[in-house]
Amino acid sequence: MGRRRGLPLLVAGFLLIPGLLAAQVDDPAQTLIREEQNRVRFAELLEQGTQHLEDPQAVLREFADAAHGLAAGGDGMLPFLFDEVDRTDQQTFFVCTYALGLMGGEEAKQILLQALERASGDLGDYGIARKAWTSYNLALLGETDSLEWVNARPKAAGHIPLFELTSTLEGMAIILENRATPILIKQHEALRPDPEYRLEWQFLIASLGRTNDERALPLLHKILQEDETLKGRQEAGRALANLARPASTPTLLAVLDNEPNEYIRRAAAEALVEIYPTDQRDALIDKFDKEGSPGVRMALLRMIVPMLGEESIPFLRKHWYRMRPVDRAEAVTSLTILGDNALPIVGRGLQSREGRVQTAAIQALGEIGTPQAQLVLESAVRSPVWTVAQKSAIEMAYRGFDSGAPAVAERVLDKELSEPIRDPTRRDRIYVMMNQLIKLNYGGRIDEFRAAMQAQPDSQLKAFIEQRLVEMRALADNGDDVKKWLKFSETAPEGRLRDLAYRRLSQLGGKPKSARVLVARFDGVNRPTQRLIVEALSAYPGEETTQLLTRVLTTDEFAGYKNEPLRDIAAYAARTLGGSAMRDLLGIAVDRTRGRDTRTLVYWSILAGDAAIPTLQRYRTDRVRYSTGRRGFEQIKLDRLARLIRAGRPLGEYDLPPDELRL
C-alpha cells in the first residue's frame, strides 16, 4: 500500500496513531472498501476545493501540499473549510483544519475553536485525535492556550489515544518556543503530584526541551537531580541534551559525581556530549577513570578523544586492557579523526576477539581511508576469521577502495571456491564476496572463476556466479572509458547491468559532453533511472548538469511529496559538486520549501557553513508547519547540526547520501 494512498494514513503518520482509524474494520475486504471510500472522499474534497482557487493546480494530492494549497485561497476559502470541518468527516477533517491553521486570521481561529469544543465532548479515539490536531493548528496561529487544551483530558482516556494527544505537545512547543515555557512550567506544578497524569507530565518535560528557551533549565535541573521517578529524570536529561546550554554543565557534572543510578548518570553524560564543554576536559578524564558504567564511559569517550587529539593515543593505551569491549569499540570509533596516527590502537581493535570491537576497527579503517589503512583492510580480508574477512570486504566496497579487489578475488578463488560446496552457509559466503567484487569494479580472473563455477554441484550457486560473471565481463570490457559506459548504459537491460553502468559513470566523471548525453536521456526514462542519472551527474560539472539540477530542485514539475526522493538525490549531487553556484542553488531550494526538504537543508548547511545558522534557526519553527514535521524529531538533528557548525566540529554524520542520512 502506497504511503500517500489515503488521508487517514497521512494523519496517522503525523499523529503517530497506528491503526486508529483503520482499526475500526478488521476484515481485509472491508478494509479495502474503506480505503477506496477514503480515497474517493479525499479526491472529492480536492475537486471541490479547487473551485474556490484562482490556481487549481495549487492543490496537489499530498496531505501537506493540499493543506497549503487550500490555505493559499485566502478568506474566500473560509465558508468551504467551515462546512468541511463541521462535518467532522474522518477523511477531510484533518486537512481542512490544517489549512485553517496555515491560513491564520481571527475567522480561521474561531472555526478551530468551535471544532475544539466539539472534539472535547467526544471521549472516543477519534474525538481525542481531533482534539490533538485542532490544538496543534491553534498553536500554528500562536494560541498558547492550546497547550492547556491538549493536557485537559478525561481520566478515562486509554493509554494509546492519550499518547496521541500528549505527543503533539512536542511539536507545539517547537512552534511556540519561548511563549510555551511559562505555561509548561505552570502545568508541571499541576500535573506532577497526580500519578494518573504521569504520561502527560513526561511529555511536558520532553516539550520543555523543544522550546529553545533557557528559562526551562532550572526546572529541568531540579527534576534530573531530585525527582523520585526514573523516567522523569531520564526525560529531563534528554530535554537538557536537546537544549544543550553550557549553563547546565555544573549540574550535569554534579550528577556524574553523586548519582548512584547509572541510567541517570548516562542521561547526564549524553547531555554533556551535546554541550561539549572543552574547558572541562580534565574533569571528564577524571570521571572516566572513576566511572564503572559502560554506557556512561562510552559517552565520556565521545568527548575525551576529540578533546585530547593526538594525546588520546597514550591515554587509550594506558586504559586499553582494563576497558570493557563497549569502551574499546567506542575508543576505536572516536579515533578516526587522527588518521594514520590512530592505526596502532585500531590495529589492536582488529585483533580483538570481541565482534563489536572488530567491527568498530574495520569501520574505523574505512573512515580513515588512507593508503596505509586500506592495506590493513586488504590483509584483514585474508583473515582466517570469516566475520573479519567478510566485514573488511564489505567496508572496502562501501568506501570504494578498488585496490582491495584482488585480495577479495584471491579469497574467493583460493579459499571459498577451492572445493565443491554443499553447505548452505558456505554458499552464502560466495554470495557476499562476489557481490563485493562487483562493487569494487573487479573484472579480472574471469576464466578462473568460470572454471571454479563448473566444479560446483549446486545449480543455484552456479547460476548466481554466472550472473556475476556477466557483470564482471562488462567491467572488464568497458574499463574506465566513459564513452563505452555511456553506450553500454543505453543498451543494457533494466536492472543490475544498467545500474552498474550508471554507477560507473558517477564514479568516473567526465567532460560536459558526457553530461549532455545523460541529461538528454532524463525525460525518457522512469523515476528510478532518473535518480541514477542525477546521481551520476554529481561527477559531471557543467552547464547541462546545473540546468537539470535547477529544474529538479526549483520547479513545480518536481514538487510534491512523491518527488522528494529525486530532489534529495539532486541536492546531494549539488553538495558533491560544491562551489558557490551549487550552494546558492540549494539555498533557493531550501527557501522554496521553507526547510521542508530536510536533506536539502542539511546539504545546503554543509556548504554554507556559519552562514547557515540563522536559516536553521528561522526554519526551526516553520518546518513543523508541515505534516512531515511530526513531533519534531528531525528538529533535534537540525539543532545539533547548528551546534556542530557553530563549534567548528566535523559534520561527517550529516555528510552522507540521502539513503544513509538518518533524520
- Whether pLDDT at 484 is above 70: yes
- Whether pLDDT at 303 is above 90: yes
Q: How confident is the model at residue 25 (pLDDT cuts 50, 70, 90)?
A: very low
Span 98-109, pLDDT tens digits: 889 988 899 999
- Whether pLDDT at 487 is above 60: yes
Q: What is the pLDDT of residue 110?
A: 94
The values of phi and psi at residue 216, to 5°, are -80, -15
- Whether pLDDT at 56 is above 60: no
Higher per-residue pLDDT: 387 or 596: 387
What value does the mean pLDDT take over residues 86-94?
81
Q: What is the pLDDT of residue 159?
A: 54
Higher per-residue pLDDT: 141 or 9: 141
- Whether pLDDT at 411 is above 60: yes
Higher per-residue pLDDT: 327 or 16: 327
Span 540-560, pLDDT tens digits: 898 999 999 999 999 989 987
Q: What is the pLDDT of residue 357?
A: 94
For residue 168, how far is the Cα from the chain centroid?
Answer: 20
Q: Which of 470, 466, 539, 398 is nearest to 478 (CA)?
A: 470
Residue 556's CB is within 10 A of a number of other CB atoms, namely 10
* Low-confidence winner among 124-128, 131-135, 238-242 (lowest mean pLDDT): 124-128
Q: What is the pLDDT of residue 128?
A: 82
Distances in Å between the Cα of 16 and the Cα atoms of 42, 164, 196, 597 are 20, 6, 22, 20
Span 327-361, pLDDT tens digits: 899 889 988 888 999 999 999 999 998 999 999 99
Q: Which of 595, 621, 635 is nearest to 180 (CA)?
A: 621
Q: What is the pLDDT of residue 41?
A: 63
CB-based contacts of 83: which residues, under 8 Å, 6+ apart?
A: none
- Whether pLDDT at 642 is above 70: yes
Return the C-alpha cell found at 300.
Answer: 565520556
Handedness of CA 557, 563, 568, 570 (dihedral sign): negative
- In terms of C-beta density within 10 A (0-12 exposed, 13-18 middle, 19 or more buried), how is residue 524 classed? exposed
Distances in Å between the Cα of 463 and the Cα atoms of 1, 336, 458, 504 are 33, 40, 9, 24
Higher per-residue pLDDT: 53 or 500: 500
Rounded-to-integer distance, Cα 452 and Cα 465, Å? 10
- Whether pLDDT at 267 is above 60: yes
pTM given for the model: 0.82
- Whether pLDDT at 295 is above 50: yes
What value does the mean pLDDT take over residues 11-21?
36
200 in Cβ contact with 207 (< 8 Å): no
Span 194-222, pLDDT tens digits: 887 788 888 899 999 999 899 999 999 99
Rounded-to-integer distance, Cα 612 and Cα 624, Å? 19
Higher per-residue pLDDT: 74 or 346: 346
Q: How confident is the model at residue 8 (pLDDT cuts 50, 70, 90)?
A: very low
Higher per-residue pLDDT: 133 or 447: 447
- Whether pLDDT at 30 is above 80: no
- Whether pLDDT at 15 is above 60: no
Residue 368's CB is within 10 A of a number of other CB atoms, namely 23
Return the C-alpha cell found at 525.
Answer: 526514462
Residue labelled with grid coordinates 572513576? 290
Residue 186's CB is within 10 A of a number of other CB atoms, namely 12
What value does the mean pLDDT take over residues 295-301?
91
Q: What is the pLDDT of residue 158?
A: 52
Rounded-to-integer distance, Cα 242 and Cα 225, Å? 17
* Percent residues over pLDDT 90 in the chain: 51
Return the C-alpha cell found at 79.
Answer: 465558508
Higher per-residue pLDDT: 370 or 149: 370
Rounded-to-integer distance, Cα 630 and Cα 157, Å? 22
DSSP per-residue codes, 178-198: GGTHHHHHHHHHHHTT-GGGH
Rounded-to-integer distance, Cα 396 and Cα 390, Å? 10
Q: How confident is the model at residue 317 (pLDDT cuts 50, 70, 90)?
A: confident
Q: What is the pLDDT of residue 196?
A: 77
Q: How confident is the model at residue 153 (pLDDT cuts 50, 70, 90)?
A: low
Rounded-to-integer distance, Cα 204 and Cα 220, Å? 11
Q: How confident is the model at residue 608 (pLDDT cuts 50, 70, 90)?
A: very high
CB-based contacts of 64: which residues, under 8 Å, 6+ apart?
A: 98, 561, 596, 626, 627, 628
Virtual torsion, Cα 333, 334, 335, 338, nearest 10 deg: 130
Span 489-531, pLDDT tens digits: 988 888 899 899 999 988 888 777 888 888 998 998 888 889 9
Q: Which of 133, 100, 178, 107 is nearest to 20 (CA)?
A: 133
- Whether pLDDT at 485 is above 70: yes
Residue 392's CB is within 10 A of a number of other CB atoms, namely 30
Distances in Å between the Cα of 602 and the Cα atoms of 64, 72, 128, 515 are 21, 27, 35, 26
- Whether pLDDT at 18 is above 50: no
Q: Chain-wide mean pLDDT for the chain?
A: 86
- Whether pLDDT at 12 is above 80: no
Q: What is the pLDDT of residue 52?
A: 55
- In terms of C-beta density within 10 A (0-12 exposed, 13-18 middle, 19 or more buried), how is residue 13 classed? middle
Residue 642 identity (one-letter amino acid): A
For residue 416, how far is the Cα from the chain centroid?
Answer: 37
- Whether pLDDT at 296 is above 80: yes
Rounded-to-integer distance, Cα 17 and Cα 129, Å? 8
